[in-house]
């Protein structure tokens, strides 16, 4: 079908509800119709994400039905046992998340596939745990993570609790694309699904064992119980799914002095107190800072709407609050976990951390100091989880910690995705340990790491380029950079240029090329002599192209100057490419 045929089907056929048909009939702009119907919303390696509205290129219950049908058919390929093992479904606090989750459950039921649906919103990492705990074949989370309120998404997980692997994602996509007809996907009535045993509501029976596993990760449980009340913590769930479990975990460990930002405590699909519910941005912490000042807090924590990312603000030596980057949090947790396990005599000989190629090389230096192996993987936490699974099955490493610069962290072996509940617990314990045992703050510890290994600074820039034209512009930028031989950025010589789409790297001093072992991905990475890098890639979840900057210098001021110069050079190059 062409664009107009799709539009007429959706705006006239009674299969689509009155609200959908009226919304579409009121569109007067042909460009808007084209944007909504020129393609189907892309099912990527993690699932779907898009703006909520009517249309094939938007998030709505009909797109959910079609995607779920594709997943259901893949589950049915595993026979009666796969259908019985079923699919676990969780959802966040976004508009229509509850409805989309139920829609998915009832489409699965219509196909004879068992659906486990959480009774209320739950964080994404608990879904990962639930898939493993219930021995389900698959999982779904209805969430758009930290995107703006206009977005929602549909993330798919597989039986190990990790995001659906690429080959399986391709199989699901093939089933979705094979069905050209949008009609005939009515869900099973809810009462029929319940009485037939195809819909089961779950909750505390998953919460309890999940939390028990989180608490086992504490390295100093006695200290937490004795002194935890002395650490003043401000916490905000940003209207999302982290609220109950983060607070329960901290309380059960002994951190009783936790103040929750009341304006952001309860679910709000409008996210009225923040521009974006993203713990990366400073505005997210505006209210937390206010309460932090009132309570003389040591630590401010924020989790995103689906509870998988953690943002952190520390009190600095001047008494002001300073927000940490995702890399700084990752380095602090790497240092804390490895140093404490070594001191306690529980660091395995084959200990391994996993991080993404977009994350700071400072973590590599810290790991090497403790004789711990580092595995670098492509951007996206699913690759960290896949590498952890590979290690576990191959027996060649023992996973200690994994992180990505975009505020995702994981420890333990019972979850296969980033987990802000785990990260909150470990960060609070680290802050307490250094405060009580060494008389230092986490800020002091970070400074000592810099003095030992060098000042690594990092930053990011993103260009939002939406729609058909934006997609073409992103492709143009990547193509231009890929084919231009760049020997320096900001006057800093480039040692290596890696093109992960071509799985090929080049030594810029010798001109010799080498093969890259990671899977193909549209990523370019320029590594500097002496440490640091620039990396460029299109976002996998938003209409953006992202630029990652990391520099290393002997002093903070030198690092700041170098970072500023390199960023200016790169962004000027991008402006020139766009102007042609």
| Residues tagged active-site | 145
CB-based contact 120:149 (threshold 8 Å): no
- Count of C-beta atoms within a 10 Å radius of residue 436: 17
- Cα(415)–Cα(127) distance, rounded to whole angstroms? 9
- Cα(295)–Cα(298) distance, rounded to whole angstroms? 9
Which letter, b or e, does each residue of 26-57 get, where b requires 16 or more Cβ atoms within 10 Å of its Cβ?
A: ebeeeeebbbbbeebbebbbbbbbbbbbbbbb
CB-based contact 369:400 (threshold 8 Å): no
CB-based contact 347:373 (threshold 8 Å): no
- Cα(223)–Cα(245) distance, rounded to whole angstroms? 21
Token pair of 306 as six digits: 């689906």
- Cα(58)–Cα(372) distance, rounded to whole angstroms? 45
Cite the DSSP H helix spans in 134-189.
166-178
Nearest residue to 418 (alpha-carbon basis) of 235, 240, 161, 207: 161
- Cα(150)–Cα(499) distance, rounded to whole angstroms? 34
Does an H or E element contain 514, and which?
Answer: strand 513-515
Token pair of 331 as six digits: 């380095």
> Which CA distances in Å does 211 have to 87, 116, 502?
21, 19, 43
Question: What's the DSSP call for residue 151?
Answer: E
Q: Which residues are CB-neighbours of 289 under 8 A, at least 6 positions away? A: 300, 313, 321
Question: What's the DSSP call for residue 284?
Answer: G
Nearest residue to 421 (alpha-carbon basis) of 89, 127, 116: 127
- Cα(70)–Cα(59) distance, rounded to whole angstroms? 16
CB-based contact 92:240 (threshold 8 Å): yes
Please give, one letter per residue, the 3-state secondary structure of 146-163.
Answer: CCCCCEEEEEEEECCCCE
Q: Say what the alpha-carbon torsion angle 186, 189, 193, 199 is, to the nearest 10 degrees.
A: 80
Beta-bridge partners for 513: 506
β 321-323/351-356 pair status: unpaired
């Amino acid at each position: 079908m062409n664009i107009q045929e799709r539009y007429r089907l959706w705006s006239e056929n009674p299969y689509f509800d009155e609200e959908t048909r009226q919304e579409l009939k009121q569109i007067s702009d042909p460009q808007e119709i084209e944007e909504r119907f020129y393609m189907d919303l892309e099912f990527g390696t993690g699932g779907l994400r898009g703006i909520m509205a009517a249309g094939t290129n938007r998030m709505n219950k009909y797109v959910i039905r079609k995607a779920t049908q594709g997943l259901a058919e893949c589950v049915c390929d595993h026979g009666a046992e796969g259908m019985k093992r079923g699919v676990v479904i969780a959802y966040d606090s976004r508009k229509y998340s509850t409805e989309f989750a139920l829609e998915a459950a009832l489409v699965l039921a219509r196909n004879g596939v068992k659906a486990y649906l959480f009774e209320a919103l739950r964080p994404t990492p608990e879904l990962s745990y639930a898939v493993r705990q219930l021995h389900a074949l698959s999982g779904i989370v209805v969430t758009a993570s930290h995107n703006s309120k206009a977005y929602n998404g549909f993330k798919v997980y597989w039986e190990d609790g990790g995001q659906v692997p690429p080959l399986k994602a391709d199989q699901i996509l093939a089933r979705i694309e094979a069905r050209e007809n949008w009609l005939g996907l009515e869900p099973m009535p809810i009462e029929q699904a319940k009485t037939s045993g195809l819909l089961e509501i779950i909750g505390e029976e998953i919460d309890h064992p999940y939390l028990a596993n989180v608490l086992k990760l504490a390295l100093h449980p006695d200290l937490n119980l004795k002194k935890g009340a002395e650490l003043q913590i401000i916490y905000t769930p940003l209207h999302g799914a982290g609220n109950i479990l983060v607070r329960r975990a901290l309380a059960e460990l002994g951190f009783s002095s936790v103040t929750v930002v009341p304006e952001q405590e309860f679910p709000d699909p409008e996210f009225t107190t923040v521009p974006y519910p993203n713990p990366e941005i400073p505005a997210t912490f505006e209210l937390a800072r206010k309460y932090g000042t009132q309570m003389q807090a040591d630590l401010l924590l924020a989790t995103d709407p689906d509870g998988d990312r953690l943002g952190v603000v520390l009190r600095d030596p001047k008494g002001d609050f300073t927000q940490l980057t995702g890399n700084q949090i990752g380095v602090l947790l790497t240092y804390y976990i490895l140093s404490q396990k070594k001191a306690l005599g529980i660091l395995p000989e084959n200990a391994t951390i996993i991080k993404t190629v977009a994350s700071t090389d400072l973590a590599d230096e810290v790991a090497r100091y403790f004789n711990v192996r580092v595995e670098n993987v492509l951007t996206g936490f699913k690759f960290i989880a896949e590498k952890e699974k590979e290690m576990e099955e191959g027996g060649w490493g023992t996973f200690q910690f994994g992180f990505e610069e975009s505020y995702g962290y994981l420890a333990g072996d019972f979850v296969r995705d980033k987990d802000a509940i785990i990260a909150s617990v470990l960060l609070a314990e680290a802050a307490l340990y250094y405060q009580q045992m060494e008389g230092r703050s986490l800020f002091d510890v970070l400074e000592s790491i810099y003095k030992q290994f060098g000042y690594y600074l990092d930053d990011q820039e993103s260009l939002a380029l939406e729609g058909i034209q934006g997609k073409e512009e992103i492709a143009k930028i990547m193509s231009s950079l890929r084919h231009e031989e760049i020997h320096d950025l900001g006057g800093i010589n480039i040692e290596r240029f890696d093109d992960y789409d071509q799985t090929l790297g080049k030594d810029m001093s010798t001109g010799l090329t080498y093969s890259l072992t990671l899977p193909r991905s549209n990523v370019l990475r320029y590594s500097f002599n002496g440490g640091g890098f620039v990396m460029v890639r299109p976002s996998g979840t938003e209409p953006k192209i992202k630029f990652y900057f990391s520099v290393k210098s002997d002093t903070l001021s030198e690092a700041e100057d170098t970072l500023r110069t390199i960023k200016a050079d790169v962004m000027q190059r991008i402006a020139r490419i766009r102007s042609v």
